[in-house]
Chains A and B, each alone.
Chain A
Amino acid sequence: MSDNLEKLFKKALDEVTVEPPARVWEGVNAHFNRKRQRKLFLYSGVAAAIALLLAISLFLENSVSEGYVSPTPLASNINTIKLENNSLVQVISTSNRIPSFKHSTNKKNIKISPLAKNQSITLALAGNEVSSDLMNSRIQDLSIPIVNGNAVENQKKYIDLLHLYPTESTYAARDKEEEKIQETPKPQKIRNKEKNSFSVGGYVSPGYTSGSYHQSNANSRTTQFSDDQMSGLFNVTGGITFAVKPNKRISIETGVGYSRMGQKTDEMQVYSPQLAMSTSGNTQLLASNVQVATPLGSVKSKATAAVYSMDANIALKDSQTPEGSIEQQFDAIEVPLLFRYRLNNNRVKFSVLGGFGASFMVRNETYLEYEGTRESMGQTDDIRKFNISTNFGIGLEYPITKSIHFRIEPGFKYYLQSLSKNSDIEFKPYTFTFSTGIGINF
């Protein structure tokens, strides 16, 4: 018996402490600083992308404003009015509003000269001719420059300055002029009329999927799988979309898509039957149908080889290949509900979109890969059949024809619930997508 020896050493080993060198904490600190910097870069990148999008949208918005034109010429109506003193006044009017000029109410200070035909309003207002010139009865057939929406009112003011009081016929002519102004159609924006209120489309989306992984510390296998071992999967998914457009800016979209989630776990130790026999001399084959622990839960393996990692549930004999990996794939049919807001209304449209997706699991498969062999192991236990995801993205639409457009949409999808129902395992998948597709407007 060696109870005393065990007690002696247990007590000693429990008591002893050793001060670690300072560089250990510096290493811990540096790790978290790097992590924080990576987060900062990520946030900065997102902020820069949003700022860029906003800048592009503002720029494009301004471009649209420059494209506004008036359907009527600046001065479309020219009428000649004969005043009481036989002066002829030519009235040029327009429905476009321009700022009215201001002048002092003191008539002595007013210095406005009449314009000769074809002279511009600017020159007229800048002229230094005394108003007395205007009183000259020889002024005939001169144009009075009235060029804005307040034309009639300005004309009246102008006539008042000349001490010319309009007659009934003048008012009649002016009323007629006002009617014309009112009838003149208001300026309209020249835009591509989007009468389409409904569209369908299809997309293909190469993407990268992985997940945020945590394992509960409730059991002794806290660090059974480390982040270093895990990596995501590249895949291609696709689907069809339906969109309703209540207005030009907003559309509500749904559809049906096929997506894949999952992850790969490297640095797994694989026990192949051949190796087991050759190294141990034991003829017993490693049995299949064992429960294999994987990061996402237990798999009842039907593979001919067995796999084990960290504190796996199965204890195997001393024979192993150096390394293998487990790939866990989960395919789902997804029905999204997305809201899209178009940032501009130009030929090339930029948009932001966000919403939710309902995900129905249709396939659950785990593969074992080792030494160039890929075997199906079976299904992972306790995988949730239904999940909800949040979707975000930015979109670019380019018209190919009047009703068909091409779309490119980088996006991000994050699942709100853990894929596993096992309370010890939390794996929330996320996917980066780069969707390309075609939409047809109706």
Chain B
Amino acid sequence: MCSLEKIIKKCQKGDRQAGEQLYKMFSPKMYAVCIQYSNSREEAEDNLQDGFIKVLESISQYTGKGSFEGWMKRIFINTALEKFRKNKSVQIVDEVPDMVDEDVDDEIDIPSNVLFDFVSQLPEKYRLVFNMYVVEGLQHKDIARELGISEGTSKSNLARAKEILKRKIKAYLSDE
């Protein structure tokens, strides 16, 4: 197996086999990202396909600075967000809900795929903000800009998302 650097260089020269190798290496991870930024599996597949085409078409612009996976992930997220922005209806600023401000136990043992499903089942506006804030580490002002919403909406959506997830965790633990 070639190193990632060699595969990238081959892809930059238009080597189709290297493109397939790159796909095999990253598609499971990127598909998971696409699922979190899409409303259905079909949409996630479309985003994975469109995103990977963009990756191969613009790979010559990757200069080797920074993480390749991060660079690639950004393309998939942007691909999904483009669709979100195109289809987005007028957003109404949500009121920040009344919540019990309590954290979850840091020793909770829930499989990753279950937690993954919890997030993917969130409504779109909560799911996007949650992923961008928690997983990507973006600030609310950046999220607001990316999604075309206000910072207040971003904050309230994050709070809603956390509230729903906490309930899901509680329900899951009580069922066990």
Q: Which residues of A contact B (CB under 8 A)?
A: 1-21, 23-25, 27-29, 31-32, 214, 216-218, 220-224, 226, 267, 269, 279, 308, 310-312, 315-320
Q: Is B165 in contact with A9, judged by CB distance below 8 angstroms?
A: yes
Minimal beta-carbon separation of B84 from chain A (angstroms): 11
- Closest partner residue, chain A, to B51 (CB atom): A223
- On chain B, the residues within 8 Å of A9 by CB distance are 115, 118-119, 130, 134-135, 165
Q: Which residues of B contact A (CB under 8 A)?
A: 16, 19-20, 23, 27-29, 31-32, 35-36, 45, 48-49, 52-54, 56, 58, 61-63, 71, 74-75, 78-79, 81-82, 85-86, 90-93, 101, 103-106, 108, 110, 112-113, 115-116, 118-119, 130-131, 134-135, 141, 144-146, 148-150, 162, 165-166, 169
Q: Is A14 in contact with B135, judged by CB distance below 8 angstroms?
A: yes
Q: A8-B108, A24-B49 given. 7 additional CB < 8 A pairs?
A: A1-B103, A5-B162, A12-B112, A13-B134, A28-B53, A214-B61, A315-B141
- On chain B, the residues within 8 Å of A20 by CB distance are 27-28, 31, 45, 48
Q: Is A2 in contact with B104, judged by CB distance below 8 angstroms?
A: yes
Cα separation A373 to B173 with both chains bound (whole Å): 58
- On chain B, the residues within 8 Å of A312 by CB distance are 145
- Closest partner residue, chain A, to B106 (CB atom): A4
Q: Is B28 in contact with A217, judged by CB distance below 8 angstroms?
A: no
Cα separation A29 to B17 with both chains bound (whole Å): 10
- On chain A, the residues within 8 Å of B90 by CB distance are 279, 318-320
Cα separation A226 to B80 with both chains bound (whole Å): 13
- Closest partner residue, chain A, to B34 (CB atom): A20
Q: Is A316 in contact with B148, judged by CB distance below 8 angstroms?
A: yes
Q: Is B61 in contact with A269, judged by CB distance below 8 angstroms?
A: no
Which of B61, B101, B145 interacts with A1 by CB under 8 Å?
B101
Q: Is A24 in contact with B45, judged by CB distance below 8 angstroms?
A: yes
Q: Is B32 in contact with A222, judged by CB distance below 8 angstroms?
A: no
- On chain B, the residues within 8 Å of A319 by CB distance are 90
Minimal beta-carbon separation of A335 from chain B (angstroms): 33
- Given known pairs A1-B101, A9-B115, A311-B78, the reply for A318 and B45 (CB within 8 Å) is no
- On chain B, the residues within 8 Å of A12 by CB distance are 110, 112-113, 115-116
- The interface residues of chain B, by DSSP majority, are classed as helix
Q: Is B135 in contact with A315, judged by CB distance below 8 angstroms?
A: no
- On chain B, the residues within 8 Å of A1 by CB distance are 101, 103
- Closest partner residue, chain A, to B86 (CB atom): A267
Minimal beta-carbon separation of B68 from chain A (angstroms): 11
- Given known pairs A4-B105, A24-B48, the reply for A318 and B134 (CB within 8 Å) is no
- On chain B, the residues within 8 Å of A310 by CB distance are 78, 81-82, 85
Q: Is A17 in contact with B91, judged by CB distance below 8 angstroms?
A: no
Which of B45, B58, B103, B145 interacts with A222 by CB under 8 Å?
B58
Cα separation A6 to B53 with both chains bound (whole Å): 32
- Closest partner residue, chain B, to A14 (CB atom): B135
- Given known pairs A5-B166, A318-B91, the reply for A18 and B103 (CB within 8 Å) is no
- On chain B, the residues within 8 Å of A218 by CB distance are 63
Q: Is A318 in contact with B48, judged by CB distance below 8 angstroms?
A: no
Minimal beta-carbon separation of B93 from chain A (angstroms): 7
Q: Is B144 in contact with A315, judged by CB distance below 8 angstroms?
A: yes
Minimal beta-carbon separation of B171 from chain A (angstroms): 15
Cα separation A21 to B54 with both chains bound (whole Å): 19
- On chain A, the residues within 8 Å of B115 by CB distance are 8-9, 12-13
Q: Is A5 in contact with B103, judged by CB distance below 8 angstroms?
A: yes
- Given known pairs A31-B53, A217-B61, A267-B86, the reply for A317 and B150 (CB within 8 Å) is yes
Cα separation A214 to B52 with both chains bound (whole Å): 16
Which of A17, A308, A315 interacts with B32 by CB under 8 Å?
A17
Can you list 23 A-B contacts with CB-CB less than 8 angstroms, sorted by A residue number? A4-B108, A5-B169, A8-B108, A9-B118, A9-B130, A13-B36, A13-B131, A13-B134, A17-B32, A19-B27, A19-B31, A20-B27, A23-B45, A27-B49, A29-B20, A214-B58, A217-B58, A217-B61, A222-B74, A310-B78, A311-B78, A315-B141, A318-B92
